[in-house]
Amino acid sequence: MSVVVVVKKGKEIAIASDTLTSQGQTKFSSKYKLNRKKFFKHKGTYIGSVGKSMSKIMLKHALTNQKHTINFNGYDNVYSSMLELHKLLKDKYYLVPGNKKLEQTVEETKMHLLIANKSGIYIISSDRYVAELTTFWAIGSGANYALGAMHHAYNKKKYSAKDIAKIGVKAACEFDKSCALPMDIETIKLK
């Protein structure tokens, strides 16, 4: 799987990820592919995704080619946008909803996302649950390692949001077999 992290500290937000993709037992490192990033930028918003690699490609294509305005600025807009995107992904991209045999309240997108923009940082679960985050978070198989490392570093004054994001990704890459360096990282300056 992978790790994607977001950190908000002071006047900076950072999003970072590892670059390893795996298919079953096969590792597909950044050495062998150009499209290694696990997040992308859409109109000032960074969107990070873990799980099936197709999710990021499908989501990026849908956002680039859709007719409606998708707005990820603020909690309510993120939720409304995910409702609209779910319908679009089912209708135009053949998204297969979650397993109806399981006890689910709603259809799942099977996507776990982190969003970072000037309005804040957000996590979106596969059932489109949205949480606005205050400090940091991580998703993917390396998330627990990243969360522990970022928790330890967050309140130390010497570390910026970018520093903490790097610490999180490095910890995940050190201990999770499905994560590997190099990492990709971007920052957003807040006013």
Residue 110 confidence (pLDDT): 76
Number of domains observed in the structure of the chain: 1
Contacts of 111 (CB under 8 A, 6+ apart): 49, 51, 55, 59, 124, 126
Q: Domain holding 147: CATH number?
A: 3.60.20.10
Domain interval for residue 177: 4-189
Render pLDDT for 125-165 as a digit per residue (tens, 0 to 9): 887 889 999 999 999 999 999 999 999 999 999 999 999 99
Question: pLDDT (tens digit, 9 = 90+) per residue, 52-66?
Answer: 776 778 888 888 877
Global pTM value? 0.85
